[in-house]
Amino acid sequence: MAYVSAAYLLAALLFLAYVLSLRSRQRMISDMIEALRQREGRA
Amino acid sequence: MRALIILSVALMLFGLCWALLAAPTELFQGVPQRIMYVHVPSVIAAYTALLVVFVASVVYLWRRDSNWDRVAQASAELGVLFISMTLASGAIWGKPVWGTWWTWDARLTTTLILWFIYVAYLIVRAWAPGPRGARAAAVIGIVGVLDIPLIHWSALLLRTLHPQPTVFRAAGPALPGSMLVPLVIGIGAFLAVYAVLMVLRTRQERTLQILAESLEGS
Amino acid sequence: MSVIRLLVAKDLRLEWRTREILTTMGLLALLLVIVLGAVKSGPGGAPAAMWVTYAFAATLGFTRAFAIEQDHLTGLLMAPIDRSAVFAAKALTNWVGLTVVQLFSLPLFGALFTEAIWGRLGALLLPLALGGVGLAAAGTLFGGLIVQARLREALLPILMLPVALPLVIAAVGATAGIVDGLPLPAIGPQLKLMFLFDILFVTAGLLLFDFVVEE
């Protein structure tokens, strides 16, 4: 049972890591868009 | 898109419940055999991802359409993710059943080497930006897939030179339906998740490129 | 054909005057032989030590091969020559360099690891040549890929070693068979694999090099 839970947990963790990296990149993109908007607003 | 996300998550949960609760326990291996429902779907997703890298790289070199380059990149990242999952779950399955975490079997060796090749692919992408890096990556993506049969063959030779003491399970009888159904559901779930993550990741890259262009323009 | 000969002659002349690549490659090979021999000598270790040495010496030498072109690479690419000729010439030069290192280090392996090498020099040339061509073709293709990347000295080994691993495995098997005194047919599969690897990477290089160096 320990082996099975370890395997499933590891797989879940890998998925989680990927999704988290996806999210952090998404946040960076929205920050960039926000910065662009502000710059355009000033110009 | 939203429907695809919901479908993939639902399939994943459904397959998980079936694999852990409803599927029968295998007679010889016992409970650890349930790792199959992670292991086999992740292998299939991994090789699908590498095949997509190959096709997208060929089309990119041919057509010069950066959409294909983004597809190759996203698919390579997911390929590495799924190969990591395969290696990890395989090692954890091997320990209770074969008595060892690792053995230099042809398929294991091939998968490990592919992991290294596609990690190198991602490193090249990170260190050589621009269309030049994209073309370099495409060449690696193509050559890496063409290399698979040679790697497999060389690993077979390795084993004939150094016979392994570990007992390999001979290809057993075809899976009974009670195991095949949850396995197929698992494969479907992994492929659906692959598709969802592909779409999300390529979209991100597209937005990033548009942003970079507009930043350069301003 | 004459273009390739011209390019190879140019590279060899350049190398003859500076001796940059051969010195670094040769010294690294020498060092590796000594280190591997000190750690584990004995007849069993010879083939593996040999090919580890050659693979690492190759990655070091092949990064330099394009680095010396850096300022002239555009000139070379603007010249009215087929890009595949540029690849063929570079791969040939790299192969010549690697072969020199191989031949120079053979006596060391004979002295430090096993005397059996002396008796089978002729047969050993076969895996040495097949392995050398494969390493040169793959190394030249990848060296061209990353010539403008950051950290290319670190990048080439991580890129080339996994891809060339089937070649190295087969080369070690073939060399071990020859050193053990097996007849050539016994190592047929290994030689066949090396031959296929050579064909694959020479073809891939000739076909894909155009995309690799394009501006």
Q: How many Å apart are CA C52 and CA C32, to the nearest integer?
A: 8
Contact C57/C28 with Cβ under 8 angstroms?
Answer: yes
Q: How many Å apart are CA B196 and CA A41, to the nearest integer?
A: 35
Contact B74/B121 with Cβ under 8 angstroms?
Answer: no
The residue to which tokens 């000598």 are assigned = C41
Q: How many Å apart are CA C117 and CA C119, to the nearest integer?
A: 6
Q: Which of B20-29, B103-112, B190-199 has the highest mean pLDDT?
A: B190-199
CA A8 vs CA B30, B49, B86, B154, B197: distances in Å: 16, 21, 11, 31, 19
Q: Does B180 touch chain A (CB under 8 A)?
A: no
Q: List the structure tokens of B75.
A: 């698919």
Of A1, A18, A29, the CB nearest to B204: A29
User: Average pLDDT of B158-178?
Assistant: 53
Contact B70/B202 with Cβ under 8 angstroms?
Answer: yes
pLDDT at B167 over 60: no
pLDDT of the residue at C72: 65
Measuring CA to CA, which residue among B20, B34, B154, B50 is closest to residue B93?
B34
| 3-class DSSP state of B188 | helix
CA within 13 Å, CB half, C132: 18
The residue to which tokens 């005194």 are assigned = C181
Partners of B32 on chain A (C-beta within 8 Å) are 3-4
Partners of C166 on chain B (C-beta within 8 Å) are 147, 150-151, 153-155
pLDDT of the residue at B32: 78
Over residues B36-86, the pLDDT tens digits come to: 888 888 999 999 999 999 999 999 999 888 899 999 999 999 999 999 999
pLDDT of the residue at B164: 46
pLDDT of the residue at C65: 76
User: CA of B79 to nearest chain C CA: how many angstroms apart?
Assistant: 16
pLDDT at A34 over 50: yes
Chains C and A touch (3+ CB pairs under 8 A): no
Determine the distance from the C-alpha atom of residue B141 to the mean position of all C-alpha atoms in its chain, rounded to a whole number.
14
Q: Which of C140, C211, C215 is most worth mutating to test chain B (most B CB atoms within 10 A of its CB)?
A: C211
pLDDT of the residue at B163: 46
Partners of A26 on chain B (C-beta within 8 Å) are 204
Q: How many Å apart are CA B69 and CA B86, to the nearest integer?
A: 25
CA C63 vs CA C57, C67, C140, C148, C160: distances in Å: 10, 6, 9, 11, 11
Contact C191/C167 with Cβ under 8 angstroms?
Answer: no
Contact C134/C164 with Cβ under 8 angstroms?
Answer: yes
pLDDT of the residue at B171: 46
Partners of B155 on chain C (C-beta within 8 Å) are 166, 169
DSSP code per residue over chain C = -HHHHHHHHHHHHHHHHH-HHHHHHHHHHHHHHHHHHHHS-SGGGHHHHHHHHHHHHHHHHHHHHHHTTTTTHHHHHHSSS-HHHHHHHHHHHHHHHHHHHHHHHHHHHHHHT-THHHHTHHHHHHHHHHHHHHHHHHHHHHHHHTTTSTTHHHHHHHHHHHHHHHHHHHHHHHHHHHHTT--GGGGHHHHHHHHHHHHHHHHHHHHHHHHHH--
Q: Do B95 and A3 touch (CB under 8 A)?
A: yes
pLDDT-derived band at B170, boundaries 50, 70, 90: very low
pLDDT at A15 over 50: yes
pLDDT at B166 over 70: no
Q: How many Å apart are CA C156 and CA A6, to the nearest integer?
A: 35
Task: Report residue C106: phi and psi, to 5°.
Answer: -55, -50
Helix axes C2-18, C20-39, angle to 10 degrees: 70
Over residues B2-13, the pLDDT tens digits come to: 888 888 888 888
Q: List the structure tokens of B129.
A: 């930006």
Instruction: Classify residue B99 as left (phi > 0), alpha (psi -120 to 50) or beta.
Output: left
Partners of C51 on chain B (C-beta within 8 Å) are none
Under DSSP, the state recorded for B28 is T
pLDDT of the residue at B157: 83
Over residues B99-155, the pLDDT tens digits come to: 888 888 888 888 999 999 999 999 988 888 788 888 889 999 999 999 998 988 888
Q: Which of B63, B147, B152 is most worth mutating to test chain C (most C CB atoms within 10 A of its CB)?
A: B147
CA within 13 Å, CB half, B120: 27
Q: Do B218 and A7 touch (CB under 8 A)?
A: no
Contact C1/C89 with Cβ under 8 angstroms?
Answer: no
Contact C146/B130 with Cβ under 8 angstroms?
Answer: no
| Sequence letter at residue B147 | D
Evaluate if pTM is beyond 0.90. no
Q: Do C212 and B139 touch (CB under 8 A)?
A: yes
| Chains in contact with C via at least 3 Cβ–Cβ pairs below 8 Å | B
User: CA of C175 to nearest chain B CA: how many angstroms apart?
Assistant: 12
Q: List the structure tokens of A4.
A: 């099975």
The interface residues of chain A toward chain B in range 23-42, judged by CB-CB distance below 8 A, are: 25-26, 29, 32-33, 36, 39-40
Determine the distance from the C-alpha atom of residue A43 to the mean position of all C-alpha atoms in its chain, rounded to a whole number.
32
Q: Do A29 and B211 touch (CB under 8 A)?
A: yes
Contact B119/B137 with Cβ under 8 angstroms?
Answer: no
User: Average pLDDT of B173-202?
Assistant: 84
Please give the residue of chain A at the shortest CA–CA distance from B196: A19
Q: How many Å apart are CA B198 and CA B201, to the nearest integer?
A: 5
User: CA of A29 to nearest chain B CA: how many angstroms apart?
Assistant: 7
Please give the residue of chain B at the shortest CA–CA distance from A34: B211
CB pairs under 8 A between B and C: 94
Task: Report residue B41: phi and psi, to 5°.
Answer: -60, -35
Q: B30 has which bridge partners? A: B26
Q: Do B38 and A11 touch (CB under 8 A)?
A: yes
Residue ranges of chain C whose pLDDT lies below 70? 41, 69-75, 215
**Opening angle at CA C135, ends B77 and B134, nearest 5:** 30
Q: Do B124 and C170 touch (CB under 8 A)?
A: no
Q: How many Å apart are CA C191 and CA C183, to the nearest integer?
A: 12
* Tally of CB atoms within 10 A around B126: 12
